[in-house]
Amino acid sequence: MPSCGRLSRWLSTSRCDFYDSIDSRLNTDKADFTLRNFIALFVPGIGLTVGKVTRIIRTLKASTSVPILHVDKDSSKLSGIIEVGILVFHGDEKESRHPPRTYMETGKYIWCNKRECIRVLHGEANNNQFVMTEEDHRFISERLPALIAAESKRAKLEQREKQEKIAKLKAGDPKDMSVVLLREVLMEMGVSFKSSESKAKLIEKVIQARLTQNDTRDDNLFTSVTLVDSVRFSEIQRNRVRYQKVQ
């Protein structure tokens, strides 16, 4: 199984702490939502997102997804990840200093984790426009600064840990690398390759490049040691000549 898949799964798992921090910052019970509800989400990497629920899917395992129409209390106790498909509504840019109350339909659909939902919204929806209530607007406005700060901290930590994981993979067994990582390693080592080359061929090139690099490093080390010994021998000879003159 490619290590890039393991890395992606690790990154998804690492966000659980962020979702838990969202729950603690909201400090409120969130009502379950159903299809056609309007919800506000705080999506990692995106931020505040408002949309209309169009799909609800429970991912039972990595290879399959089972669609369901309603998330009730009993189903929420089952294992798996609940993903929500929403029709995105975009806020008025004139109100960018604060979360806007009025949103317009964009025609764009995205998938989000259910745990990213911070509020089930109420308001008026007509003519592809949604206006949230004053209560919902106040709720989001009060909590948004803390959520943005938490997201900034999470993004920096995730980026640093991702770089460390990738560096570890690049230094490891080539057989555990993805094709993308193999190509990056070859480029860093100055080895040419064709974009059509198979993974097996790329692995072979990485192994060969490492052997060549190790041989070059050993030769350089031997040359350095030889130069040091030569300098020391010259110093001994000069000291011997000086001693003989003194005698």
Output phi, psi for 180, to 5 deg. -60, -45
Mode of pairing for the β-strands spanning 47-61 and 81-91: antiparallel
Buried residues in 71-97 as b, exposed as e (16+ CB within 10 A): beeeeeeeeeebbbbbbbbbbeeeeee
Which pTM value belongs to this model?
Answer: 0.58
Q: In angstroms, rounded to a whole number, what is the distance separating the alpha carbons of residues 53 and 90?
A: 15
Sequence-distant (≥ 6) Cβ neighbours of residue 119 within 8 angstroms: 30, 39, 40, 136, 139, 140
Q: What is the pLDDT of residue 140?
A: 92
Mode of pairing for the β-strands spanning 102-113 and 129-132: antiparallel
Q: Which two tokens stand for residue 38?
A: 């309007």
Q: What is the pLDDT of residue 71?
A: 43
Q: What is the pLDDT of residue 83?
A: 85
10-residue averages of pLDDT along the chain (247 residues): 49 56 51 85 90 82 44 45 88 69 93 89 92 93 90 88 87 88 89 88 89 68 54 60 56
Q: What is the pLDDT of residue 3?
A: 43
**Which has the closest alpha carbon to 42: 124, 155, 130?**
155
CA dihedral over 63, 67, 71, 72, signed as positive or negative: negative
Distance of CA 172 to the CA centre of its chain: 21
CA distances from 51 to 31, 39, 118, 124, 185 (A): 16, 6, 12, 13, 42
Mode of pairing for the β-strands spanning 129-132 and 81-91: unpaired
Q: What is the pLDDT of residue 32?
A: 74
